[in-house]
Amino acid sequence: MFNRRKMLLWGAASAVLGGLCAGVPARADDAVKIGLILPMTGGQASTGKQIDNAIKLYMQQNGDTVAGKKIEIILKDDAAMPDNTKRLAQELIVNDKVNFIAGFGVTPAALAAAPLATQAKIPEVVMAAGTSIITERSPYIVRTSFTLAQSSTIIGDWAVKNGIKKVATLTSDYAPGNDALTFFKQHFTAGGGEIVEEVKVPLANPDFAPFLQRMKDSKPDAMFVFVPAGQGGNFMKQYAERGLDKSGIKVIGPGDVMDDDLLNNMGDAALGAVTAHLYSAAHPSQVNKDFVAAYKKAFGNRPGFMAVSGYDGIHLIYEALKKTNGATDGDKLIEAMKGMKWESPRGPISIDPETRDIVQNIYIRKVEKVDGELYNVEFATFEAVKDSGKTKK
Ligand code: PHB
């Protein structure tokens, strides 16, 4: 009885206090809010899943409080549709008063949010999208993923030096596919290589079969492939069904098509594929071994490059907040992020203080069977590669 009365009184008091406080915004320093916008459904859902998992893992390992502030993640699914991204970013900024927006599974999504980050003066941490121009679209954008220029230039040079003379290209028909194609072609043809066929496939639900027949007919030494994370499994299935593996046309490209997330289910058709990329689950460092083991234990499968980009993205946010002592002023956070360096599961990385883009090693890898599983085994390293694809320097 007494308890019930106390509860009623407490309820009444809270209602009065609530009434008094109505219209007064919550104290800005209560918590740090991160609006995480990812494709959790649709064709790019594997990217969203990997990044969401990796952030959960990081927060399990490092706690959910930084510089005395509680970190609150608000996850929204944009299904990789830029109109959704824009609406969700707006709601997160205006209604939830987030201190960061983060995620962005595809380039159009990252670009759609850029003007909002600028207007709100809050950091936009890009954890997936890979077109070079993205970081130029707002001084509040910082990227922990990669650019297609970083890997495509390197595989272009490698192809020339390794006796590949004729290449057919198959790229996804949107901004990062165009970056991959442009930078590969520049390097491959400058070294004397010839492009014998060029096809672009739609981003949504691509049927590769008719394009693969054209590739086969053009009799190249290798085919250069860019499809975004999540599509490699379907691509390799159709590649094998059309017998391209039997006709000796090897797959080369940036590593997106050989994402560790899907690689192990691609079968022997993937053996021998050579790609240049930022991350392999087989990267032989202790930091990576620990990361792969913890990720597998928590989620039952291997992390791919999107998982690592998300893991590093949340690390960057934590470290920036430590540097500002928990202050959430967007300009201070961006300053704190510039030039930051750390050892990621992918190897040593840093944030270029001039472009706010990631600087990282790019590895050349070949798909091999190790203990009965398929892995991208790294065999050459290009250190501290910057993005070379910006329009202004
Ligand atoms: C992009 O849309 O920028 C993108 C998405 C997935 C990738 C690479 C680039 O694997």
| Residue range 101-117, pLDDT digits in tens | 999 999 999 999 999 99
**What distance in angstroms lies between residue 267's CA and the mean position of ligand 1's atoms?**
24
pLDDT at 29: 56
Angle at 137 between CA 134 and CA 142, to 5 degrees: 60
Residue 340's contacts (CB-CB under 8 Å, 6 or more residues apart) are 316, 319, 320, 350, 351
Q: Is 347 in the pocket of ligand 1 (CB under 6 A)?
A: no
Ligand 1 atom 7: residue of nearest CA: 228
pLDDT at 392: 52
pLDDT at 357: 98
- Residue found by looking up tokens 């679209």 in the block: 137
pLDDT at 391: 73
Which of 311, 364, 344, 343 lies closest to 56, judged by CA?
Answer: 311
- Residue found by looking up tokens 């490209």 in the block: 253
Which of 37, 38, 44, 106 for mutating ligand 1's site (highest number of atoms within 8 Å of CB)?
106
Helix (H, G, I), strand (E, B) or coil at 325: coil
Residue 92's contacts (CB-CB under 8 Å, 6 or more residues apart) are 35, 37, 74, 76, 98, 101
Phi, psi of 90 (to 5 degrees): -60, -50
Here the tokens at position 100 are: 């960061």
Q: Is 257 in the pocket of ligand 1 (CB under 6 A)?
A: no
> Which residues in the chain come in under a pLDDT of 50?
1-28, 393
Here the tokens at position 220 are: 């190249």
The whole-angstrom separation of Cα 360 and Cα 284 is 16
Q: Is 256 in the pocket of ligand 1 (CB under 6 A)?
A: yes
- Strand bridging mode 250-254 / 222-226: parallel
Contact in structure between 261 and 302 (CB atoms under 8 Å): yes
Phi, psi of 359 (to 5 degrees): -115, 125
> What is the residue type of 81?
M
pLDDT digits (tens, 9 = 90+) for 289-310: 999 999 999 999 999 999 999 9
- Strand bridging mode 250-254 / 274-277: parallel
**What distance in angstroms lies between residue 365's CA and the mean position of ligand 1's atoms?**
19
pLDDT at 221: 97
The whole-angstrom separation of Cα 132 and Cα 146 is 9
For the chain, count helices (H), then strands (E): 12, 15
**Beta bridge pairs of residue 375:** 368
Here the tokens at position 158 are: 């490698």
Q: Is 113 in the pocket of ligand 1 (CB under 6 A)?
A: no
Q: Is 48 in the pocket of ligand 1 (CB under 6 A)?
A: no
pLDDT at 17: 39
pLDDT at 339: 98
Residue 136 CA: distances (Å) to CA of 38, 225, 243, 299: 21, 26, 42, 35
DSSP string covering 123-188: -EEESS---GGGGGS-TTEEESS--HHHHHHHHHHHHHHTT--EEEEEEESSHHHHHHHHHHHHHH
Angle at 108 between CA 106 and CA 110, to 5 degrees: 70
Contact in structure between 365 and 274 (CB atoms under 8 Å): yes
Contact in structure between 277 and 253 (CB atoms under 8 Å): no
> CB neighbours (10 Å) of residue 388?
15
